[in-house]
Chains A and B, each alone.
Chain A
Amino acid sequence: MTVSDYNKCVDLHSSAIFRFALKQLRNPDDAKEIVQITFEKLWMKRDTVQIDTAKSYLFTTAYHSMVDAWRVQKPTEDVETLSPAKHPTTEALAYDGLMETLEKALSQISQIQKTVILLRDYEGYSYAEIGEITGLNEAQVKVNIFRGRQALKEIIGNPNNLI
């Protein structure tokens, strides 16, 4: 990968990596740090990473960087352990738009479920590609996406109120 290719990757993928990290970490500074770490690693590996595989490499690196960050942070509660009182009520969510509601709900599901859903919805990755990034097999990816959507559906509340 040449300098030009690297810079092209910055143009093409930095926003996607930032968005991916921001949705996961919910902190712009932390997300920027993840982006910087990710691209620094790409630069160091530029001799071995080709431009056509750079996107996958970037997301994998970003994901692993975030996993490292999560390890030193307080463990996130899984949706199964959340009490109903912690869930936003339909009334409270009624003031927000659907996407904002979903964003809030997204923060309450497990990290891996959030990761696979973000990769699936934002980047359009297949189960296999998500598996490569997260180290899961296709079936695990699919189950996590399903469980994540199930959880989001439950958190969002009564669907009739959202339509």
Chain B
Amino acid sequence: MKPSPISEEQEWQLFELLEGNLSTIEAANLRKQIQGDANLEAHYKAMSHTYLTPSDIHFTEKELLKKRQSKRTVYFYTSMSAAATIAILWFFSANRAIQPVVPAQLQLTTTESQRPPTTNKASNPSTLVVTTEAESKKNAKVVVITTSEQNLTTTLDNSQTVHPLITATEPIRKVRNINDSVVRKTVSPQSTASALASIDRPSPKIAQQKTKKELLKSFYLDARRMIENGHVPHINVKTVNNDEDWMPEFQVGLTLENNVILTSFNPE
């Protein structure tokens, strides 16, 4: 049996009650009124049935909406790491008999990063400048390597042992590292005079002119020389852009234990 109509005001009251807009006292009074009026109660129940409950509908094509991010980074990193590991292990086993290269006559001093390379050049004509990239960029320092034919010891002011590979690989590192704030100099300990002649600061264009093949070769040679000297190189792969595109740019670096960057390049 259909209930008899109720006034608009009563409908509003029922609506306000169901919406939770009434105060506790108002709600209690109205509920009491509803309980005592069957017609009003029928309308109340009918109104309460107009409230929807979320149906179990799911959008099944979420993956199509999603944007890919850095998946290739993971794949690339994994493949690069695997390749580097294999190469390192192979070199290590193949070149076990090779004697480590005798480090050049070195005397290292640690200076402040703002120390200009030209000053070193004036006082120590055969100065090599190698930039270190510490984990924290704030603590980055410049290591100055000077060569001396008489001094065969390797020392560092802050009691750190100088890595012989710095010298061992320096002659073959003809490309500028991407991370280097100071351009490397190609100086051979055996030919200081020729090094002096070529001590001029090369233009950054030189690095840009190097082909990817040359960069890879440099990377390969550095890694090989490290193995030959009995050291495990650290392969660092990192993105160099903060773009959120799904294909970021990479930079692969070969570093020593003390975070000296030997070679870095963008494999693209």
Residues A121 and B53 in contact, CB atoms below 8 Å apart:
yes
- Report the count of interface residues on A (CB-CB < 8 A): 40
Residues B47 and A153 in contact, CB atoms below 8 Å apart:
yes
Residues A159 and B45 in contact, CB atoms below 8 Å apart:
yes
**A112 → chain B closest CB, angstroms:** 16
A118 to B57, CA, bound (A): 14
Residue of A nearest to B61 (CB): A32
For the A-B complex, the count of residue pairs with Cβ-Cβ distances under 8 Å equals: 96
Contacts of B11 in A (CB 8 A): 146, 150
Residues A2 and B244 in contact, CB atoms below 8 Å apart:
yes
Contacts of B65 in A (CB 8 A): 10, 14, 35-36, 39
A36 to B64, CA, bound (A): 9
Question: Considering the complex of A and B, which 6 residue pairs feature the smallest CB-CB distances, nearest first?
Answer: A159-B46, A18-B59, A3-B69, A121-B52, A152-B50, A149-B50
Interface members, chain A 1-15 (any B CB < 8 Å): 2-4, 6-7, 10-11, 14-15
In the complex, A67 has a CB within 8 A of chain B? no
- Chain B, interface residues (CB within 8 Å), range: 20 to 34
* Interface SS, A side: helix
Contacts of B67 in A (CB 8 A): 3, 6-7, 43
In the complex, B1 has a CB within 8 A of chain A? yes
The stretch of A49-57, A80-88, A98-106 that contacts the partner chain = A98-106
Interface centre among B52, B53, B68 (most CB of A within 10 A): B52
Residues A122 and B54 in contact, CB atoms below 8 Å apart:
yes
Contacts of A159 in B (CB 8 A): 3, 42-43, 45-46, 49
Residues A160 and B50 in contact, CB atoms below 8 Å apart:
no
Interface members, chain B 29-71 (any A CB < 8 Å): 42-43, 45-47, 49-55, 57-59, 61-62, 64-70
Residue of A nearest to B55 (CB): A19
